[in-house]
Structures are given as structure tokens and as C-alpha cells.
């Protein structure tokens, strides 16, 4: 599959140069928006982006995708399209031209703290086709009665200088001046926009955001966090200690950064084969000493990459010093969450038998912790599980000074945990695991498998003897889960499938090197491969259809169409990566979405 | 045929909208406007025959195929929702009502059986025999693996008989208390020895069966379980017992002796054909033209399925399952071998509140579409909306004072339905 190139050539307009220009026809949208917005977003070259989107949709075939067709053929969409097309046609334009004319060169949306607890907002669009927009507005004004006999209705309009401002219910005001269409819910903002007061384009925060963005950024924005923190709900959310241990440990560090950061800037730009979105905070204090666990000093870098694994689906990487976080729990979490965490640690210690969860496990693992998911290959399986779960693997680097005794204790603890699972399962009439310690590529491994996979002959008959579409008997959820453990090159591996454990060991063994100390900011990341996700959903199509039929009250035909359409749409995507770097000077989040030129079938 | 079961003659009392709505409410679940209109235009004879139609609709059949995969997931909650969704979609609502009725009669709980496939297999058995001869159904149930686990017949072996199943065959399934003696239970248990199951399949274990002579309900011989079932059904008490239960389900909570005797006679004369007996009851003037004064209280399943069918709501399986469970009826999990007590026990301050809350959520839900219903049934005036609301809930012949309602027709419909579905009259069948 060839990669589709998204190489856009955007003409970014230097803000400083623009502010010096006095000619209204060359003014940017930010030069109309009043200064002092708490948040603002600018869309540059909207008309050009729309053209490129249209071209990509045609070229990639995505406009023929079933999900798009499903939406396009819905009665609601068709009604809206007929209305919009009719409206645009009366202004002698087609729908794309109308949208392009309005989005124009430049659009800025800004939010201001208003009076009476109501936010004020303004949208300014610099039209690329002023005459076209003027015709559209003229039509709209006539249809809605804002003009009578070609003149503005005095009851529903007023003048600011030479400009006519129309008032449309309930509170929206709009004005078209030069090539700028200004829409707001505040008369004050409208008067400032049409006056000579300082504008957003001169604000240091806005300028900094524009300067930080790449030249080809389509969208640039910023938010004043200090001002947003004054919103009571947001303030409470940031100041409250987490009530659940896991979310507290995952997002507590980010929450701490957001408590003190001055502002956040964002931009969206085309990348080589997709889109890249970046958000970054500016200003703010470093993490306090009570939050050291969020910025581990012992993070390591892996040699091998998870996408080397066969049928790779996704990876979640979290960098924390879990031992420190456990010790800092009172400073980080609410009291109930601290209680839950301690109970959890005690229970796990019990399950693990001879190992203490806090000292022997948390105290000996380094960052990052990685959760890798792959699609399972069931071609040799005796029973096809239902649903077919992906294989999960938890990977944690271990401290370099651990001796052989640790490995022995770990295997004993793993066997103890499997025994407890068996006792619990046995009480519920479930089949039990058989565990076996073996060696694979010289590494000691503990495999487990079900003695008697569920979904055997008796159950099939008991269910009424109706045949499945598969040529193999089907088993229930439990079958697709068999815990396995190993340590390879100082990496602790816990997987839910023997196959995935072998694949991981193969990948690690190919590089044959233990993880090295990382020299970069703390990095949390999520990666996803769309093609494998689509394959996994296709594997579980029958299950997904059943769920939609039962839970969404769909007919089989509709449920199948919806699932197939969604799976097909996924195939237009290549990969998604969301990474969050925690630095001394703030947070940086980057999302990268890669597309394919067309869907793989 | 007894005078009490004299056939209804539309020429004497016209088959109109009110009679059709009332008939459908009592023989199936609450009917939709479409079902009422179809019944009126088809006439009484065809409407009665349609109750016993063999084929179901496509939507139901599509859903029906999901039973097996769901059971294999061992997810009884999903299976419960699946059953309720089928009840909501079926074009054979009487068949659905009967399945729930027999599930209560042969009450078996997943709490002990712990196998969704076995519970599904029992439901399939019940559905297959629901209209047929009672003897065949009781014999099939006696071999049902879920029943064998539920009443411990796996432990019923020669020399150490377990009496649980034999006791319930007499007390709960065929005769009722007082129509048998402890001796009959002991001897009956010997007849069921060796009737066991393995991996969800019935298995007759010859080595554990007692082939000796037994004396059951006055008969003596080398009986096995099938013989005991036949002997029990031949007892005079059996016809009265089954007749009483059918009348409680479809006619009134406390049928008088005369009516019970008439239906029992019908059962005997039809060799316990349930379909023939129900046809006689439903086709009688007593049922169509002169319903009993003491109505029954609807079960949660009747209530919930009635609401979604009459208001044409596409409710999700999980919603149906949660609603009926909160109202006190968790299908596949009856509270004891006696099943749900029903009638007055369905309503208390807690379950009534759940019903009222359920009504409000149903009417406010996005899945309820008043505009579509108004358009489909041409409800263009407030009076038409009011009449429709009454017709699909308590029936056009029920006198009920309606409070003031909004002028907006969609809002009016919601308001009226909230009121009518919460009314005491709607809780009754």
C-alpha cells in the first residue's frame, strides 16, 4: 500500500507583519478579535484545507466508504444538504464553494470571560470570495427578514461607524465588513472589533502560539490557564486529590503541572502522511518533591520495538517510579484512594505467596511499564474463543542488581497466583489452568493452559445444538486467557498467551541487550495500529453484531452493515500515536495520525 | 362443551376495537395500535387462529439464532436480555407468554444450575412443548439436564433414592398438595433413579436405576419415570391443577370451581392438549364478551414487554433485563421451586416505584418516537392522541379521568402515556 502524501504548502502569514498593515483587505481574523481572550483558535487557509480534504476524499476513495455513505444517505443529512445546497445555489454557488468562501483565508474563534457568568465568544472569518459571501448573506437577510426592501430592518440592526450590525435571535450579532464576517454574542465585543482598540493579534500569548507553530500549521490556538483556573468547576477538578488510586497515579503528575502552568498552546499541521497535533503548556512550577514518583530518574530505553512483534496491535507506555508513588500516596491521593491502594497491595501480596508486592515487585521494577497488545493467531487452537481477545503483555524493566533469587521467588509467586485462580475457578465450576515451567531460548518461562478448554461437545449440545459458522467449536471468554511469566534480558514479561510470550522473547533475544538508561523527558505514550485493530474487530464480527442486535435493538442486516462500515473506515487509517512528555518547563502532548491512500481490503 | 365455554359469537356482541384490544391484552402482551387494527379487520376467528400461528417474524427469528452463542458465553444476564428482546419482537406473543408461564411452572434457577447452555436448553424444551400435550412436556422436562441438576436427580440412585424430583412432579408440576401421599413420593423417586445428565445431555444410567416393582398412586408395576408421569396425569387432580394454573394466568387470579371444572374437562377430553384447551378458553363468550371482574396484576415481564410493544419502543436487551429484574422477576432465576408467587406479590412500595420510574424513562427515552407514531396512525388532533393513548394502554372501554395536558401533540402524548401507564388500571390484566 503506497503512502498518501499530505504535503500541503500553506502560506503562513507572519502575524507581526500583518499587524503593521493597515489595508483592511489584507487583515487577518486575529486583527479584528479584541485583545484579552482566555482561549483562541485560528484556522488558517480554510478554503485551501477544504480543497485538499475534498481532493483526498476523492483520491483515497473514503467518500465511497460505507460509513460515509451511511451518513450521507441518512434522511437527516439529505434534508440538511438539500436546504444548504438550495441556499448556496440561490447565491450562485455550489456547496463546496459556499463553505470555502466562508472559511476563506483565515478564521479565528475566541472566548472571553463575560459578565453574569456567561462566556462571550467571537468568530471572525476572512472570506476568500467576498462577493460570494455578500450574496449568501444577502439571501439569508432576505429570508430571515433582517432586510426589508433591501434595507436593514432598524428593529433588528444597528450601526457601528459605517458598518451595519444585524441582530438575529436569540443573541447572535453579525456584521460583514470588508472581507471579514464577524459573529458574536456580545455587543461590546462587536464594537471593539469594529473599533480601533488593541486586538488579539497583538497579544503576546497569541503571538507566541503562532510563533511556536510550524509554518504549515492549519490550526493554531492557545488558552490562558491562569484565567481558566478561575472557573470554579475546573479549579475544583484541578485542586481535588484523585479518589481512585489508578487514575491518581496515572494523571496526578499532569494535574499538578496544570495547577501552575500559565498557558497552553496548540497547533495542528499536516505531516508526511497524515496529521500532527501538538499541545504544550508554558510556564508553571516543577513537580514538588512529594510528587517525585511522576518523574522517574531510572527510566530506561528499549532496543526492541513492539511493532516488530507479529500481529502488533497497540502499546501503552507509562513512566512512573511506582515504588516512590506508593510511598508518596498520602500526598497524592484522597484518603479513600489511599485505603484502596493499601488494600490492593495487601491482596496482591497474599496472591503472590512468598513475595511482597511493594518491596519485592514495585521496589524492583524500573520505568517505563509497557502494556503491549497483539492479535492472537488461533490457526492451531482446538477451540475458537468467543469473543477473541487480543493477547496482552505487561513488560517491566528490572533493576540491574537483582540476583537469581528474585527470579526463583517470582516463579514461585506466579505459580501461587495461578493456584489461587484455579481454586477460585474450581469453586465456580470453571476449568482450571495447568502450569508448566520450561525454558525458551534459554530463558526460564512459566506457561499455563486450560486442562479442558470450555466450549466442548456437551455445552454445544446443551445450547441447542445449533451450529456456528466456524468449523471449530467455540469456547467462552475464559479460554483466550492463559497467564505466562518470564524474565528475559532484565525485563519482566507477564502475558495472557504463551504465543505472545514467545514472540516477545524472540524480539528481545534478537537485540540481546538489556534496556539502557533513557536520556529524555518522562514519556507516556499510546500507539495503535489501525489495520490490526480492523482485523481484530473482523475476528469478533459475530460478537459485535450480536451486541448491536441486543443492546442497540438493531436488525441483523443493520448491525452487520454498521460493523462492516466501521471496520472499513478503520482501514483508511495507518497508525495513531499519542505521546505525553513531562518536562521541567511543562507538558507536551503530541498526537500523530497517519492515513493510507486507500482502504486495505 | 360446558356452558361456561360456549363459543363467542360476534353476531351477538360485535367484534370491535374495544373487544379486540381487551382480547389481545389478556392473551398476549399489551398490543400496539397496528395489532389492534389488524385484529379488528381480520375478524375474531382469524385473530384467535393467529394466536396459534406456527411461524414467527423475521426480526424475531434472526434474534432467535443468537441464543446458542450467547449461552456459550456463560452470560446469563445477556441470555435474559435476549429472551426479553424476543418477547418484545415476536409475532407470536401468546407463545412468549406461555414460555414464561411454563418457566414459572417448572421453576428452575441458574443460581444452582450454573450453566447458561443448560438453561437455554430447558427454555427450548418448554417452547417446543408449550402448546402440545402436557404429558409430552412433563416427560421432556423430566429428562431436562437443568431440571436434573436443579432437583438433584443426579443423586437419585438405586438403594439411595433422592426424592426431590418425584416430590415436585406431584406437588408442583401435576397434582398439587393433598393429591398424593409420602409413600407415592418414595416409590416415584425409585422410578426416576438413574435419570442423570452429563455435559448437558440427558443420560440414563442403567446401573443406578431401580428396576424393582413400585406402587405409585394406587398402581403397581416395574415403573420408570415416564410411567410415573403418565400415572400422575391420569389422576383427576391433575386436570384441575393445570386448569387452575392456566385460568390464573389468563383469566382471573381466583377462578371459581365451576370454571375450573369446565376447563379441566376440556383438558381431559383433548388429552391434555394445551393448544386445544386455550383455544376453547379464548374462544368462549365468557372470555371475550364477559371478562371476570377480578383482574390479575401484571407480572413485570408482562408490564415491561407490554409497554415496549404497545409504544413500539426498540428497547435494548439490557434495559429490559434490568427493568424486569428490578421489578422482581429475573428470568432464569425464579426465587424457589415454587416459582414466583405472582399477582399481589408483584406490587409493593418498592416495585411500584420502579414501575413508575420505568414508565417515565420509557416515555422520555429517545427510542420512543411520538412524531413517528402520530404520523403513522394519523393522530393529528389532541382528541386523537388521547384516544390512541388510552387504546394502547388501558383500553378504550376503561373509564379514566384524564388530567389537563399540553397542547403540543408530542408532549401531550408523552404526558398522557406517563399518566395512563402509571394508573392502577394499567397494572391489571
Nearest to B174 by CA among B226, B123, B239, B127: B239
Contact B362/A at CB under 8 A: no
Identify whether B288 is part of a domain: yes
pLDDT at B150 over 50: yes
For position A55, what pLDDT does the model report? 81
Q: How far is it, in rounded angstroms, from Cα B317 to Cα A553?
A: 7
* Whether residue B139 is found in the same domain as residue B279: yes
B82 CB near a chain A CB, below 8 Å? yes
pLDDT at A20: 34
Encode chain B in three state secondary structure.
Answer: CCHHHCECCCCCCCCCHHHHHHHHHHHCCCCCHHHHHHHHHHCHHHHHHHCCCCCCCHHHHHHHCCHHHHHHCCCHHHHHHHHHHHHHHCCCHHHHHHHHHHHHHCCCCHHHHCCHHHHHHHHHHHHHHCCCEHHHHHHHHHCCHHHHHHCCHHHCECCECCCHHHHHHHHHHHCCCCCCCHHHHHHHHHHCCCEEEECCEEEECHHHCCCCCEEECCEEECCCHHHHHHHHHHCHHHHHHHHHHHHHHHCCCCCCHHHHHHHHHHHHHCCCEHHHHHHHHHCEHHHHCCCCCCCCECCHHHHHHHHHHHCCCCCCHHHHHHHHHHCCCCCCCCCCCCCCCCHHHHCCHHHHHHHHHHHHHHHHCCCCCHHHHHHHCCCCCHHHHHHHHHHCCCCCCCCCCCCCCCCCHHHHHHHHHHHHHHCHHHHEC
pLDDT, tens only, B84-116: 999 999 999 999 999 999 999 999 999 999 899
- Lowest average pLDDT, out of A458-467, A510-519, B201-210, goes to A458-467
Q: Is residue B5 situated within a structural domain?
A: no
Nearest CB partner across the interface for A549, out of B63, B115, B367: B63
Q: What sign does the dihedral A547-A551-A552-A556 (CA atoms) show? A: positive
Whether B325 and B288 share a structural domain? no
> Per residue in A568-580, pLDDT tens?
989 889 999 999 9
* B232 and B305 within one domain: no
Predicted local confidence at residue B2, as pLDDT: 62
Instruction: Flag whether pLDDT at B129 surpasses 50.
Output: yes
pLDDT (average), residues A186-200: 93
Domain residues for the domain of B182 are 133-293
The verdict on residue B235 lying in a domain is yes
Separation of alpha carbons A455 and A151, rounded Å: 78
Distance from CA of B366 to the nearest CA of A (A): 12
pLDDT at A10: 31
Across A231-235, A350-354, A537-541, least confident range: A350-354
**Residue in the block written with cell 422482581:** B328
Asked whether B36 and B391 are in contact (CB, 8 A), the reply is yes
- Summarize pLDDT for A64-104 with one digit per residue, the tens: 777 777 777 777 777 777 777 777 777 677 777 777 777 77
Confidence grade of residue B123 (pLDDT, cut at 50, 70, 90): very high
User: Where is pLDDT greater, at B428 or A524?
Assistant: A524
Which chain B residues are closer than 8 Å to A464 by Cβ? 67-68, 71, 117, 120-121, 124
pLDDT at A472: 45
- Which tens digit of pLDDT belongs to each residue from A396-427? 999 988 888 888 888 888 888 888 888 887 77
Cβ–Cβ pairs < 8 A, chains A and B: 101
Nearest-CB residue to B318 (from A455, A476, A551):
A551
**Among the partner residues B59, B201, B367, nearest to A461 by beta-carbon distance:** B201
For chain A, give the mean pLDDT: 83
In chain A, where the domains are located: 15-219, 223-270, 369-517
> Whats the size of chain A, residue-wise?
601
Q: Which residues share a beta bridge with A157? A: A166
Q: Using 50, 70 and 90 to split pLDDT, how confident is the model at B286?
A: very high
Quick one: B308 and B188 in the same domain?
A: no
Please say which residue of B132, B150, B174 terminates a domain: B132
Query: Is residue B27's pLDDT more than 70?
Result: yes
B317 touches chain A (CB under 8 A): yes
**Residues A553, B200: C-beta atoms closer than 8 Å:** no
Mutate to test the interface with A, among B58, B60, B65, B69 (most CBs of A within 10 A): B69
Measured between beta carbons, which residues in chain B are less than 8 angstroms from residue A429?
Answer: 114-115
Residue B15 has what pLDDT?
95
- Note whether A556 contacts B62, CB cutoff 8 Å: yes
Residue B130, chain A, CB below 8 Å: the answer is no
Q: Is the pLDDT of residue A327 over 80?
A: yes
Residues B17 and B143 in one domain: no
The answer to whether residue B145 sits within a structural domain is: yes
Q: Are residues B229 and B177 in the same domain?
A: yes
Q: Among partner residues A464, A543, A546, which is closest to B120 by beta-carbon distance?
A: A464
- pLDDT, residue A21, reads 37
* C-alpha A59 chain-centroid distance: 26
Q: Are B279 and B405 part of one and the same domain? A: no
Indicate if the pLDDT at residue B281 is higher than 60.
Answer: yes
Say if residues A325 and A294 touch (Cβ distance below 8 Å): yes
Q: A455 to chain B, minimum CA–CA distance in Å?
A: 7
pLDDT confidence of residue A600: 52
Out of B117, B118, B316, the one facing A552 most closely (by C-beta) is B316
- The whole-angstrom separation of Cα A505 and Cα B381 is 74
- Reply yes or no on whether the pLDDT at B133 is more than 70: yes
> What ipTM was predicted for this assembly?
0.76
Angstrom distance (rounded) from CA A235 to CA A223 = 15
Give B141's pLDDT tier (boundaries 50, 70, 90).
very high
Q: Which residues of B touch A481 (CB under 8 A)?
A: none
> A342-356, A457-471, B282-296, B334-348: which has the minimum mean pLDDT?
A457-471
Query: In this complex, which of B116, B199, B316 lies closest to A553 when CB atoms are compared?
Result: B316
Please give, rounded to a whole number of angstroms, the shortest distance from the CA of A558 to a CA of chain B.
11
Shared domain check, B289 and B416: no
Residue A458 with chain B: CB contacts under 8 Å:
198-201
Please, which residues 41-80 of chain B have a Cβ atom closer than 8 Å to chain A?
A: 59, 62-63, 65-74, 78
pLDDT at B246: 97
Residue-level pLDDT at A168: 84
Give per-residue pLDDT as tens, A238-280. 888 889 999 999 999 998 899 989 999 999 998 888 899 999 9
- Print burial letters for B380-405: b (CB count within 10 Å at least 16), e (below 16): eebeebbebbbbbbbbbebeeeeeeb
Q: What pLDDT is stored for residue A25 in this prediction? A: 54
Residue B312 grid coordinates: 413500539
Interface residue B85 vs chain A (CB under 8 A): yes
Q: What is the pLDDT of residues A447-486, one digit of tens each?
A: 988 776 544 444 444 444 333 333 444 455 556 788 999 9
Q: Give A70→chain B minimum CA distance, Å.
A: 20
Domain count, chain B: 3
Among A428, A463, A474, beta carbon nearest to B120: A463
Strand duo A474-475 + A384-385: pairing: parallel
Q: Which residue has the cell 402482551?
A: B29
Q: How confident is the model at residue A129 (pLDDT cuts 50, 70, 90)?
A: confident
Of the residues B66, B101, B132, the one at which a domain ends = B132
Q: Are residues B272 and B325 in the same domain?
A: no
Q: Is there a contact between A454 and B200 if contact means CB atoms under 8 Å apart?
A: no
Q: For chain A, what is the total number of helices (H) and then of strands (E)?
A: 20, 26
At residue A429, the pLDDT reads 65
Q: Please, which pLDDT band fits residue A11 given cuts at 50, 70 and 90?
A: very low
Is the domain of B286 the same as that of B356? Answer: no
**Which of A463, A550, A556 lies at the smallest CB-CB distance from B72?**
A463
Distance from CA of A551 to the nearest CA of B (A): 4
Task: Answer yes or no: do B221 and B285 share one domain.
Answer: yes
Three cell numbers written together for A36: 484579552
Show the CA angle centred on residue B296, arms to residues B294 and B298, nearest 5°. 155
Q: Residue A206 is placed in which grid cell?
A: 497569541
* B221 part of a folded domain: yes
Half-sphere exposure (Cβ direction) of B11: Cα atoms closer than 13 Å: 1
Shared domain check, B322 and B255: no
Residues in B touching A450 (Cβ below 8 Å)? none
- Tell me, what's the pLDDT at A139? 86
Separation between Cα atoms, residue A448 and residue A425, nearest integer Å: 14
| Domain-located, residue B4 | no
The span from the first CA to the last CA of chain A, in angstroms, equals 11
Mark yes or no for CB contact A462/B117 under 8 Å.
yes
- Of the residues B132, B158, B183, the one at which a domain ends: B132
Can you say whether residue A390 is alpha, beta or left, with left for phi > 0 and alpha for psi between -120 and 50 degrees? beta
Amino acid at each position: 500500500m503506497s503512502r498518501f502524501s499530505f504535503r500541503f504548502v500553506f502560506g503562513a502569514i507572519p502575524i507581526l507583519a500583518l499587524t503593521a498593515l493597515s489595508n483592511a483587505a489584507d487583515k487577518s481574523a486575529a486583527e479584528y478579535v479584541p485583545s484579552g481572550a482566555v482561549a483562541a483558535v485560528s484556522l488558517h487557509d480554510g478554503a485551501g484545507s477544504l480543497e485538499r480534504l475534498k481532493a483526498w476524499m476523492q483520491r483515497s476513495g473514503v467518500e465511497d466508504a460505507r460509513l460515509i455513505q451511511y451518513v450521507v444517505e441518512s434522511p437527516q443529512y439529505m434534508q440538511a444538504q438539500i436546504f444548504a445546497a438550495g441556499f448556496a445555489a440561490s447565491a450562485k454557488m455550489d456547496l463546496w464553494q459556499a463553505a470555502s468562501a466562508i472559511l476563506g483565508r483565515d478564521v479565528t474563534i475566541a472566548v472571553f470571560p463575560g459578565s453574569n457568568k456567561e462566556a462571550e465568544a467571537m468568530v471572525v472569518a476572512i472570506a476568500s470570495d467576498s462577493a460570494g459571501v455578500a450574496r449568501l448573506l444577502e439571501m439569508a437577510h432576505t429570508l430571515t427578514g433582517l432586510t426589508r426592501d433591501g434595507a436593514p430592518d432598524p428593529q433588528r440592526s444597528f450601526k457601528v461607524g459605517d458598518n451595519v450590525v444585524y441582530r438575529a435571535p436569540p443573541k447572535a450579532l453579525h456584521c460583514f465588513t470588508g472581507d471579514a464576517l464577524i459573529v458574536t454574542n456580545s455587543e461590546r465585543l462587536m464594537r471593539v472589533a469594529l473599533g480601533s482598540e488593541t486586538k488579539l493579534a497583538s497579544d503576546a500569548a497569541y503571538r507566541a502560539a503562532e510563533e511556536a507553530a510550524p509554518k504549515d500549521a492549519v490550526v493554531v490556538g492557545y488558552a490562558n490557564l491562569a484565567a481558566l483556573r478561575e472557573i470554579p468547576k475546573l479549579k475544583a477538578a484541578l485542586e481535588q486529590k484523585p479518589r481512585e488510586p489508578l487514575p491518581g497515579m496515572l494523571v496526578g503528575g499532569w494535574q499538578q503541572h496544570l495547577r501552575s502552568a500559565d498557558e497552553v498552546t496548540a497547533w495542528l499541521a499536516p505531516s508526511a502522511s497524515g496529521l500532527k497535533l501538538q499541545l504544550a503548556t508554558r510556564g508553571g512550577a516543577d513537580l514538588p518533591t512529594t510528587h517525585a514518583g511522576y518523574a522517574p530518574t531510572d527510566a530506561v530505553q528499549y532496543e526492541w520495538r513492539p511493532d516488530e512483534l507479529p500481529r502488533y496491535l497497540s502499546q501503552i507506555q507509562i513512566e512512573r517510579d511506582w515504588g516512590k508513588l506508593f510511598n508518596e500516596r498520602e500526598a497524592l491521593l484522597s484518603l479513600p484512594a489511599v485505603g484502596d491502594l493499601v488494600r490492593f497491595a495487601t491482596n496482591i501480596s497474599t496472591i503472590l505467596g512468598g513475595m511482597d508486592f511493594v518491596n519485592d515487585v514495585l521496589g524492583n521494577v524500573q520505568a517505563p511499564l509497557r502494556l503491549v497488545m497483539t492479535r492472537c493467531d488461533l490457526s492451531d487452537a482446538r477451540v475458537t474463543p468467543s469473543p477473541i481477545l487480543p493477547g496482552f503483555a505487561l513488560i517491566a524493566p528490572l533493576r540491574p542488581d537483582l540476583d537469581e533469587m528474585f527470579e526463583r521467588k517470582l516463579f514461585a509467586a506466579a505459580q501461587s497466583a495461578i493456584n489461587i485462580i484455579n481454586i477460585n475457578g474450581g469453586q465456580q465450576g470453571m476449568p482450571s489452568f495447568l502450569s508448566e515451567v520450561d525454558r525458551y531460548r534459554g530463558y526460564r518461562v512459566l506457561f499455563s493452559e486450560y486442562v479442558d478448554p470450555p466450549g466442548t461437545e456437551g455445552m454445544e449440545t446443551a445450547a441447542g445444538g445449533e451450529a456456528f459458522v466456524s468449523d471449530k467449536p467455540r469456547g467462552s471468554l475464559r479460554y483466550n486467557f492463559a497467564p505466562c511469566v518470564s524474565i528475559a534480558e532484565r525485563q519482566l514479561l507477564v502475558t495472557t498467551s504463551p504465543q505472545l510470550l514467545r514472540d516477545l522473547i524472540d524480539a528481545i533475544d534478537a537485540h540481546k541487550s538489556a534496556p539502557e538508561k533513557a536520556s529524555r523527558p518522562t514519556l507516556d505514550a499510546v500507539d495503535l495500529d489501525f489495520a490490526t485493530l480492523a482485523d481484530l474487530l473482523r475476528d469478533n464480527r459475530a460478537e459485535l453484531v450480536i451486541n448491536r442486535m441486543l443492546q442497540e435493538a438493531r436488525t441483523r442486516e443493520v448491525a452487520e452493515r454498521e460493523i462492516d462500515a466501521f471496520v472499513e473506515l478503520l482501514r483508511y487509517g495507518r497508525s495513531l500515536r499519542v505521546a505525553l512528555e513531562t518536562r521541567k518547563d511543562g507538558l507536551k502532548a503530541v498526537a500523530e495520525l497517519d492515513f493510507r491512500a486507500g482502504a486495505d481490503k | 362443551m360446558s356452558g361456561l365455554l360456549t363459543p363467542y359469537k360476534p353476531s351477538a356482541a360485535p367484534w370491535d376495537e374495544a373487544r379486540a384490544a381487551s382480547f389481545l391484552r389478556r392473551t398476549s402482551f399489551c398490543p400496539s395500535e397496528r395489532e389492534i387494527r389488524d385484529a379488528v379487520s381480520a375478524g375474531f376467528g382469524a385473530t384467535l387462529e393467529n394466536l396459534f400461528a406456527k411461524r414467527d417474524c423475521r426480526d424475531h427469528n434472526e434474534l432467535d439464532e443468537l441464543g446458542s452463542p450467547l449461552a456459550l458465553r456463560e452470560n446469563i444476564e445477556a441470555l435474559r436480555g435476549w429472551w426479553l428482546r424476543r418477547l418484545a419482537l415476536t409475532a407470536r406473543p401468546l407463545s412468549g407468554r406461555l414460555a414464561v408461564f411454563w418457566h414459572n411452572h417448572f421453576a428452575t434457577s441458574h443460581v444452582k444450575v450454573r450453566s447458561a447452555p443448560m438453561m437455554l436448553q430447558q427454555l427450548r424444551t418448554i417452547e417446543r412443548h408449550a402448546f402440545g400435550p402436557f404429558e409430552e412436556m412433563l416427560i421432556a422436562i423430566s429428562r431436562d439436564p437443568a431440571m436434573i441438576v436443579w432437583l438433584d436427580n443426579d443423586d437419585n440412585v438405586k438403594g439411595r433414592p433422592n426424592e426431590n424430583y418425584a416430590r415436585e412432579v406431584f406437588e408442583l408440576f401435576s397434582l398439587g398438595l393433598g393429591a398424593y401421599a409420602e409413600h407415592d413420593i418414595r416409590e416415584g423417586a425409585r422410578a426416576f433413579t438413574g435419570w442423570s445428565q452429563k455435559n448437558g445431555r440427558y443420560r440414563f444410567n442403567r446401573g443406578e436405576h431401580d428396576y424393582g416393582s413400585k406402587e405409585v398412586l394406587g398402581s403397581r408395576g416395574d415403573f420408570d419415570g415416564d410411567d410415573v408421569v403418565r400415572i400422575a396425569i391420569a389422576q383427576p387432580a391433575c386436570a384441575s391443577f393445570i386448569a387452575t394454573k392456566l385460568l390464573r394466568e389468563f383469566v382471573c387470579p381466583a377462578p371459581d370451581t365451576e370454571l375450573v371444572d369446565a376447563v379441566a374437562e376440556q383438558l381431559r377430553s383433548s388429552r391434555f392438549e394445551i393448544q386445544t384447551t386455550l383455544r376453547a378458553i379464548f374462544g368462549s363468550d365468557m372470555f371475550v364478551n364477559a371478562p371476570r371482574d377480578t383482574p390479575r396484576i401484571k407480572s413485570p415481564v408482562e408490564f415491561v414487554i407490554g409497554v415496549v410493544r404497545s409504544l413500539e419502543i426498540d428497547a435494548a436487551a439490557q434495559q429490559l433485563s434490568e427493568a424486569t429484574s428490578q421489578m422482581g422477576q429475573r428470568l432464569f432465576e425464579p426465587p424457589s421451586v415454587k416459582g414466583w408467587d405472582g399477582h399481589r406479590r408483584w406490587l409493593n412500595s418498592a416495585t411500584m416505584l420502579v414501575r413508575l420510574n420505568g414508565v417515565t424513562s420509557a416515555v422520555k427515552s429517545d427510542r420512543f418516537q411520538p412524531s413517528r407514531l402520530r404520523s403513522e396512525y394519523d393522530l393529528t388532533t389532541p382528541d386523537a392522541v388521547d384516544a390512541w393513548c388510552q387504546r394502547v394502554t388501558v383500553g378504550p372501554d376503561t373509564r379514566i379521568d384524564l388530567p389537563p395536558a399540553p397542547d403540543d401533540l408530542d408532549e401531550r402524548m408523552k404526558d398522557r402515556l406517563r399518566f395512563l401507564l402509571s394508573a392502577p388500571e394499567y397494572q391489571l390484566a
